[in-house]
Every structure is written in C-alpha cells, then in structure tokens.
A = this chain, B = another copy of it.
Amino acid sequence: MSTAPTTRRPLLADVAAKANVSIGTASRALNGRGELSDRTRLAVQKAAEELGFRPSPTARSLRTRRSLTIGLVVPHISHAFYAGVTEGAQATLEEHGYRLILVDSGEEPRRVGSALQTLVDQEVDGLLLSTAPVGVEQARETLAKTPCVCIDELLPGLGVGSVVLENAAGMGLLVEHMAGHGHTRIGCLAGPEDRSSGRERREGFLAAVRERGLDGSPELIRGGDWTIASGYREAKALLEVAERPSAIVTASAELALGALAAVRGAGLSIPQDVAMASFDDVYFAPLLEPPLTCVGYDTRSIGSEGARLLLAAIESEQPAWSESRIGVELVARRSCGCHYDETSQLAEAIA
C-alpha cells in the first residue's frame, strides 16, 4: 500500500527527480556552489520553481551550523528607543536574509542572563544586546562562540562591538544652546550612572559647562533613574535649591516629562521662569505645551548599524572590536526660549 500522494511539501529530492539529476547536483544548482554547467543549473532551477520548492531552514541549519538567525535582547520593546532599534535591526537583517528572534528581558537584569542562554541554545548566529547583563564574566562565558554587539552601551571586552550615541556631544549641544539664551546657571537631570550612556551624558554636561565657565556646582546635577517619576522628583528638588537654576537640561525624554510636570506643579512657566531642553526627541514633543526643545537622533539607524556590525563580524574570521557612534542634532522648539511660531509648530507636528 503506497501512501496517498497528498500534495506534500516538495523536497530537494523531488526537484532532483524532476530535473533528472542527482540530489547533490540539485543542491549545488540551487545554492550556486561548485562548478556546474549552465544547462543543468537552469533545468534544476526551473524544476524547483515549478514544484514550488522551499528548502527547509531547519535541515539546512542542522547541516551547515548556521541558523541565519539573530537574537535581539531588549529590556522593554514598548519603549520608543528599543522599538526603533528593533525596527532598524529587523529591516537590515531581513535585507541580508537573516531572521530576528526577539526576547524582551524586562527590566530585571537577572533575566538577561537566561535570555542570553536561551538564544545561544537556539544556535543564533549572533546577538544584539541592548541591555547590560548582570555579570559580565558570566555573559562573556555564554557568549564564548557567539558574536555579540552591544547597543547603547560600551562594555569593553564584551562582544565584537558597540553602537552608541554621541552622548557627550548631545549634552554639549543642549548646554551650548542654553548658554546662547544667556543662561549661566543650568540644572541637569543626569539619570543613573550604571550604564555608559548615563555616565557619558553626565560627564558631557559637566564638560560643556566647565568649558564655558558656567556654574558647575554639584547641587545642580542630580541623579535618579530613567523614569518620569524620577524626573519629577529630582526636578522638584532642583527648583528648591537656594539660587534656582534658570534652565534645566535633562538626559532623557522621561526625565523631561517628569520635570515638565514638576515645573508646572511649582507654578512656574516655561521658558520664562525656567527654560528646558532634553536629550531624546519623541514624536509628540512638538505637541507638548510648550513644544520641547530636544537633541534628536535616528533610533532606527542604531539598530541597522548594530546589525551591520554584527553581520560583518559573522562573516569575518577575526573580527576586531569596533565602536560606532550615531550622530545627534539639536531640534530647537519653544521650551528653551526660542522663537518658534505656531505655523512651524503645526507643520512639524503634522509632518
């Protein structure tokens, strides 16, 4: 009794049979490997086409030990930053025939380790890591043979490279702009220092302030974490120092939103009483009241650049560690005190 020939998925063997060649030849023809006469190659390709042959990635992976799959670990895909990174990475990977498997590690650093392990078990060809692992030594171990690119974090000695923003330059732009508006006493919500981007932004602010001979008192720089609540709390504290700063610069959009609420809550007006500007441009920034002056950048290009770095490392035998910086630019609106008329605001908002 022969099994009914229910139209099942055509295999390489079927293609070979239809083209009257061996299975090996069929494989070579479809993968463009080895010497092969044009005639047979075309015959095989035609047969494959007609049968609608789709090679099994699973079988192929098992054999070649390349999964054409990249793992991406993000702490929180809902955050605009990581969503942009993901979008950029996905697009670039797809262009190169790679798939993206996504793991949302959550904020808990403990889960990052297990996420990494899962992906390595998956036999991904590479990793994009957009959150710092708990123990770098442990991570280094599980990443022994899998290339890894860190996103928004400089971890010397881990992986094959990093893609980071021009953090210091960005803070410099903010300080420069505020100084241009005549401010000499500028407060800063710098966020935490547990990640390199935070450190760089804090130091960038300090350097820019000092460079211009502005007030660099420690009381003007406050930490906290990257949340709206923290921004609110720290900004409130900043407004209560003896000689109130006339401008506040924040190291992230969340901090800015919290600060916005705090300044409003204190009954102060922006930019008259306190000017404001922030790192991170968010799409609704022109719709806030007042429209928020920001340092912006292309989140998607962070992801694409990370993917590019990773693919390069995968191709090459001896990948050198490399660092890639994504540029930033100031987008002046009204919260800093710039003249920014309703017309351009509308135009920007609905763009």
A interface residue numbers (CB < 8 A to B): 54-59, 61-62, 67, 69, 76-80, 83-84, 86-87, 90-91, 94, 99-104, 118, 121-123, 228-229, 231-232, 257-258, 260-261, 264-265, 282, 284, 287-289, 299, 342, 345-346, 349-351
Contacts and interface: CB of A to CB of B under 8 A. Distances in A.
B67 A78 contact: no
Please classify the interface of chain A as helix (H, G, I), strand (E, B), loop, or mixed, using the class held by over half of its residues: helix
Contact of A58 (B67, B104, B349, B351): B67
Given A229-B351, A288-B288, 7 more contacts: A55-B121, A62-B62, A77-B83, A77-B90, A86-B104, A94-B103, A261-B349
A282 B282 CA distance: 13
Nearest to A348: B261
22 contacts: A56-B121, A57-B121, A59-B62, A77-B83, A77-B86, A78-B80, A78-B84, A78-B87, A90-B103, A99-B118, A101-B101, A228-B351, A229-B351, A232-B350, A257-B287, A257-B349, A258-B349, A261-B350, A264-B342, A264-B346, A282-B284, A288-B289
A350 B94 CA distance: 38
B346 A265 contact: yes
Copies per complex? 2
B100 A87 contact: no
A260 B287 contact: yes
B104 A101 contact: no
Nearest to A342: B265
Given A58-B123, A83-B77, A288-B289, A228 B94 contact: no
